[in-house]
Amino acid sequence: MLSKNIDKYTFSQQHDDLSFGKRVWYFFWDLIKVVAVALAIIIPVRYFLIQPFYVQGASMEPSFYDHEYLIIDELSYRFSNPERGDIVVFKYPKDPTQFFIKRVIGLPGETVEVKDGFVFIYTDVGEKKYLLDEFNYLDQTVQTRGDKRWQLEADEYYVMGDNREHSLDSRLFGPVSRGFIVGKVWLRGWPLDRAKVFDQVDYVQFNSN
């Protein structure tokens, strides 16, 4: 009788241990599936759709300040090309390991001229010239330094920082090829009191001819 009770107790204990082990296994198996699904979503989003960017330096003031946290839209440029006024992140042409943030000023095929503190755009192979309206984002007490004129190729963009007195941009290193442009600024997430979604800039055209 005593032996039977011992056998029954031993069997019951083994059964309980087995059930606990299964519960642990199912828990970890569900956890693995959740993590796998999360990675399947997060990795493509992180590497192909959006990317965080940390502002360093003063070249885009007053639009962006040092240490601001941005979200870059990498998807849009897979279906369309950069537009004038877009704020883009790109690989520095002279050192592709570095990433810069600037504003698109000149588009492929145009001629960009910096003169007398202003930016002029020539279209139609240089036959039509107009003063670029930059009143939406520039500090109007600061003029655009330089005396430059550049004819852009079919895949080149002329970029400048909004802080025209303190910006390393196309006035110095030339235009940026389309393949170097990573994406455009979509959202400023930090600091919270400056959080903003960025839309396309509307320009007013001032003919200069």
Q: What is the pLDDT of residues 78-88, one digit of tens each?
A: 888 999 999 99
- Claim to verify: residue 6 and residue 67 sit in the same structural domain: no
Pick 90 or 208 by higher pLDDT.
90
**Residues 102, 41 share a domain:** no
- Per-residue pLDDT, averaged over 150-166, amounts to 92
- Asked which of 9, 29, 51 is the last residue of a domain, the reply is 51
pLDDT at 18: 54
Asked if 91 and 2 sit in the same domain, the reply is no
User: What is the DSSP-derived secondary structure letter of residue 39?
Assistant: H
Catalytic status, residue 4: no
CA distance 110 to 106: 6
69 three-class SS: strand
Strand partners, 137: none
Domain count, the chain: 2
Same domain, 60 and 45: no
Return the CATH number at 123.
2.10.109.10
Structural domain containing residue 59: 55-207
Please answer whether residues 169 and 59 qualify as being in contact, where contact means their C-beta atoms are separated by less than 8 angstroms: yes
Q: Which of 8, 12, 19, 59 is catalytic?
A: 59
Q: What is the mean pLDDT of residues 30-45?
A: 55
Q: Is 115 a catalytic residue?
A: no
- Cα separation, 162 vs 109, whole angstroms: 23
Last residue of a domain, one of 34, 51, 68: 51
Average pLDDT score over residue span 171-184: 93
For residues 8 and 93, membership in a common domain is answered with: no
Assign 58 a pLDDT band (cuts: 50, 70, 90).
Answer: confident
Kindly tell me if the per-residue pLDDT of 53 is higher than 70: yes
Q: What is the pLDDT of residue 40?
A: 46
pLDDT of residue 193: 84
Cβ atoms of 70 and 51 within 8 Å: the answer is: no
Query: Token pair 């693995």 is at which residue?
Result: 32
Question: What is residue 74's predicted lDDT score, i.e. its pLDDT?
Answer: 84
Do residues 40 and 138 share a domain? no
Q: Look at the pTM and tell me if it is higher than 0.85.
A: no
Average pLDDT over residues 161-184: 92
Q: Which residue, 193, 114, 125, 99, is CA-closest to 147?
A: 114
Same domain, 37 and 119: no
Residue 103 has pLDDT above 90, yes or no: yes
Could you tell me if 81 and 97 lie in one domain?
yes
Residues 120 and 23 grouped into a single domain: no
43 shares its domain with 91: no
Q: Are residues 173 and 126 in the same domain?
A: yes
Does the structure show a pLDDT above 50 at 127? yes
Candidate list 63, 102, 167, 184, residue with the active-site label: 102
Own/partner pairs for 93-96, CB < 8 Å, 24+ apart?
Answer: 93/173, 93/174, 93/176, 93/177, 93/180, 94/173, 96/180
Looking at the fold, whether 12 and 69 belong to one and the same domain comes out as no
Q: What is the DSSP letter of 162?
A: S
Q: Among residues 33, 51, 69, which one ends one of the domains?
A: 51
Q: Are 64 and 88 in contact (CB under 8 A)?
A: no
Name the pLDDT band for 125 (thresholds 50, 70, 90).
low
